[in-house]
Structure 1
C-alpha cells in the first residue's frame, strides 16, 4: 500500500504541476526520478497517463480516469495522518498557502512563523503570486484572496477588512508641489499596477481615484511599495505595509481611504480534514490580529 500510494502521490504532483520539474520541486526529488516513477506507473496501469509536449504534461483519458481514484487515496492518507497527528496534539507535515504578494510579504510571514513556533513539526510554504490560485490543481492547499470566487467546489471565509491610502515618501513630498486635493495629483509621478495585469477588479485602485496614467507600474505590490518608499512617486499602499518602512506619509487622508477584504479559500473536500480546519482557523485568526496591529502603527 505504501509503495502504491507513493506512486500515486507522484502522479498527483505531475497532474497538478503540469510537468516533471515543478512536480519534483514540490516532492523534493529529482525530475528524472519523477519521470521514471511515472513511466513505471504507466507500465503497471497498462496505458499512458500523460500526453507529453513541449508545453508540459497533460492528462490522457486514462489519466483522467485515475485522477479521482488517486485523490480518494490521498484523502484517506490525509485522514490517517491526522489520526496520528491528533494523538501527538500538534500540527505536522507540509501545508502550502497561496496569497497575493501584499499579504504574503507583510502579514503572512509573521503569522505563519508564530504557528510553526507552536507546532515545530509543521512545514509551512507561502506562495506569493499576483494572480488567482487554482486550488483544483493543488497549486496550494488553501489561498488568501481579495474577492470571493464564483466558480469551483470551494469554501470561502471572510478573514478581515484592510485599508489602503495614497502615500509617498517624505523626501518625494519635500521636493514636489504640495498636494491638497485630487486635482493636485496632475503632474505627479504615479506608481501602480500594470493595467492589463490587474488580476482582480478590487485592485484597480487608481482608476477608482480617476488616475489615468501610471508612470511606474508593476504587477507586484512589493515593487510598487519600494518605488514609493524610495521616492519614485505617489502610490496606493496597504496600511499594514507602512510600518515596515520609515518616512512614508499618507496623503489626503481620510478623504482618500480604500477598504478591501481578505478571504480564505479552500477546496470543499478539505472540510473533512481536521488538520486543515485547525490550520485555517489559526491563519485566519492570525491575519486578523496582525492587520489590526500593523494598521494601528501606520
Structure 2
C-alpha cells in the first residue's frame, strides 16, 4: 500500500480537515483530497463522513487510523534511535511522572542535567494517568509503583513514605497532636479521595477521616498540599522526600506514616540503546543518591 497516501490520510484524520492537513503537509487542499479519494478507491471503502464542520472517521477509517497511528509511533521511535549520536546527547526526551514527584523532586533538579546536556529538550508530562510507553505516548516514566506493561525495561530507584507534616508556625499556634485522635482539633490537608493516588496514602487518609478532623482542605496533587502546609494552613500528608528541600516542615504523628512505596523508572525495550534515555537514567540515579546522602546527614533516614 502506498505510504504517501497513508501518511496524507493520517494527517487528515488527525486534523479533521483537508485544509489543515494540507497546511501541515505543505500541499493544496485539492491534492490532499485526491490522495484520500484514491486511497478510498484502493480500499473500496469510505474513510470519512463529510459535513460542513469537517471530517469524521467512519468505522473503517477508525481501523485504518489506529494502524497508521501505530506505524507513525514506531517510525518516530526508529528515528529517535537513529538520531542518537554516539558522542552527543541531544533532541527531545518525553518524560512522564506524577504531579507530586515531577514538581517537588524532579523539576527543581533539572538545572544540573541541562548544564551537562544543553542540547537536550525535555518534554515533562505531569499527570496521574499512566501513559502507554510501548505505544510511545512517552519515552521514559518515573512512577510510584512497578509498571505492569510488557516490553519495558524497569529499574527500582528508591522508596517513599507518606507522612504527616506541619509548619512550625502552625504548631505553635494550634499545638502538636500527640495521638491520631487529636486530629479533631486540626485542619487536615490531603489529596482529594477521588484523585488517583498511592494506595497506602489513601488508607492513611481514610484512617484520619475516621477520626473526624476539625476541618479539611483537599487538593488534587501533592504540590498543592505542600503549598498549603508551608503557608500554615494545617497538617498535611506529604511524601517524605520534600523534607530535604523544605527543612522547616515538622513531622507529626510519626507512628502514623505509611508503608514504603517503591519508585520505578521505566522505558521501552526498543529504546535500550538510546543515549538520551541513558543520560536521563544516570542523572536521576545520581540525584537520588545525593538526596539519600543529604537525608542521612539531616538524620531523616
Normalised by the length of structure 1, the TM-score is 0.75
Secondary structure, aligned partner of 2:209: coil
Change (3 A) 1:256 1:194: same
User: Which residue in the other structure is 2:295 paired with?
Assistant: 295
Change (3 A) 1:127 1:79: closer
How many equivalent residue pairs?
A: 273
User: Which residue in the other structure is 1:117 paired with?
Assistant: 115
For residue 129 of structure 1, report the CA deviation from its aligned partner.
Answer: 1.8
Secondary structure, aligned partner of 1:262: strand
Gaps spanning 5+ residues in structure 1: where? 22-31
1:17-49 CA distances to partner (integer Å, 9 max, x unpaired)?
A: xx659xxxxxxxxxx855633777775462487
Bigger Cα Rg: 2
User: Which residue in the other structure is 2:43 paired with?
Assistant: none
User: Which residue in the other structure is 2:101 paired with?
Assistant: 103
User: Which residue in the other structure is 2:63 paired with?
Assistant: 61
Change (3 A) 1:217 1:208: closer
Determine the C-alpha separation between the residues in 1 that align with 2:170 and 2:23: 57
Change (3 A) 1:42 1:140: farther
Q: Is the 8 A contact 1:159 1:287 kept in 2?
A: no
Equivalent runs, 1:21-36 vs 2, <5 Å: 36=23
For residue 106 of structure 1, report the CA deviation from its aligned partner.
Answer: 2.1
Change (3 A) 1:264 1:108: same
User: Which residue in the other structure is 1:268 paired with?
Assistant: 269
Change (3 A) 1:114 1:166: same
For residue 246 of structure 1, report the CA deviation from its aligned partner.
Answer: 5.8
User: Which residue in the other structure is 2:170 paired with?
Assistant: 172
Change (3 A) 1:68 1:176: closer
Change (3 A) 1:10 1:265: farther
Determine the C-alpha separation between the residues in 2 that align with 1:149 and 1:20: 32
Determine the C-alpha separation between the residues in 1 that align with 2:189 and 2:265: 28
User: Which residue in the other structure is 2:195 paired with?
Assistant: 197
User: Which residue in the other structure is 2:145 paired with?
Assistant: 147
User: Which residue in the other structure is 1:158 paired with?
Assistant: 156
For residue 192 of structure 1, report the CA deviation from its aligned partner.
Answer: 0.5
Normalised by the length of structure 2, the TM-score is 0.74
Determine the C-alpha separation between the residues in 1 that align with 2:103 and 2:224: 11
- Match among 24, 47, 57 for residue 37 of structure 1: 24
Change (3 A) 1:246 1:43: farther
User: Which residue in the other structure is 2:227 paired with?
Assistant: 226
1:64-96 CA distances to partner (integer Å, 9 max, x unpaired)?
A: 3333433343333223212xx11xx12000101
Determine the C-alpha separation between the residues in 2 that align with 1:220 and 1:119: 30
Equivalent runs, 1:120-131 vs 2, <5 Å: 120-131=118-129
User: Which residue in the other structure is 1:250 paired with?
Assistant: 251
Give the root-mean-square deviation of aligned CA atoms. Answer: 3.7
Determine the C-alpha separation between the residues in 1 that align with 2:156 and 2:134: 20
Q: Is the 8 A contact 1:167 1:237 kept in 2?
A: yes
Secondary structure, aligned partner of 2:194: helix
